[in-house]
Amino acid sequence: MSQKKSTTPAKQLSDAALELIATRFRALSEPMRLRLLNLLMLGEKTVGQLVEATGSGQANVSKHLALLRDAGMVGVRKEGLTSVCFIADPIVNELCDMMCRRLREEMEGKAKSLASGLR
């Protein structure tokens, strides 16, 4: 045992800190934004490419990107007429990976118990 899991011993957080953390998680709490991040994980994309890939309205995509930018998760580089977007904070990949892994585990667990219930 003795896994270096390093979960800190639960400090109590200030209201301001909680607000900050909540805001970050809120940025990840909309399917459309997750879709954008998911697309950007494949590589840089212009806003137009993201609009096309998502099939959503241009204004909508632009606003979601602005929010992700404010949260420091997405960066934008102007290139002539177009804006090229990219993932600016590797935490995005880590958080999403972690969440996906956990969901997969849960699903498999549920499937297994369901299967054994049907046996």
Which of the choices a second copy, DNA, none does residue 7 contact, using the CB cut-off of 5 to 8 A by kind? a second copy
- CB 10 to a second copy: min, Å: 3
Nearest C-alpha neighbor of 88 from the set 61, 101, 70: 70
Which of the choices DNA, a second copy, none does residue 60 contact, using the CB cut-off of 5 to 8 A by kind? DNA
Q: Which two tokens stand for residue 94?
A: 């880590």
- CB 13 to DNA: min, Å: 15
Query: In terms of CB distance, is 13 or 81 closer to a second copy?
Result: 13
Which range in 1-9, 29-37, 90-98, 99-107 contacts DNA by CB under 7 A?
A: 29-37
CA angle 68, 48, 91 (to 5 degrees): 25
**30: contact with DNA by CB under 7 A:** yes
State which of residues 12, 16, 42, 80 lies at the interface with DNA (CB under 7 A).
80
Cα–Cα distance between 59 and 65 in angstroms, integer?
10
Query: In terms of CB distance, is 84 or 95 closer to a second copy?
Result: 95
Distances (CA, A) of 117 to 74, 85, 114: 45, 48, 5
Nearest C-alpha neighbor of 14 from the set 26, 24, 3, 22: 22
